[in-house]
Amino acid sequence: KGEIGYFIEQACWGKGIATQVVKRLERIGFDELKLKRVEIIMNVRHKASEKVAIKCGYKKEGVMRKAIKTGRSYYDAFLYAKVK
């Protein structure tokens, strides 16, 4: 299995960059690395990241409680996945 993660500079938001990156990394994962599963995990507050996952055909599998640590705080995360 593989996991895709990304951070996009705010000045580049809304330009389709994350969608392009996810599609390319997915192709590498499935076609070159022969993975059977690719996951995207994102903070539940990041609605744009959720839209990218949905647009790329990933399915929501659940919520991971307190899965992301930023500084001293923990945040819930969505788990999206695609299987081949």
Q: Tell me how far apart the alpha carbons of residues 79 and 58 are, in angstroms, rounded to a whole number.
A: 9
**What confidence score (pLDDT) does residue 6 get?**
87
- Protein fold of 2-83: Aminopeptidase (3.40.630)
pTM value surpassing 0.85: yes
Q: Tell me how far apart the alpha carbons of residues 20 and 25 are, in angstroms, rounded to a whole number.
A: 9
What pLDDT, in 10s, does the model give residues 15-73? 999 999 999 999 999 999 999 999 999 999 999 999 999 999 999 999 999 999 999 99
**What confidence score (pLDDT) does residue 66 get?**
98
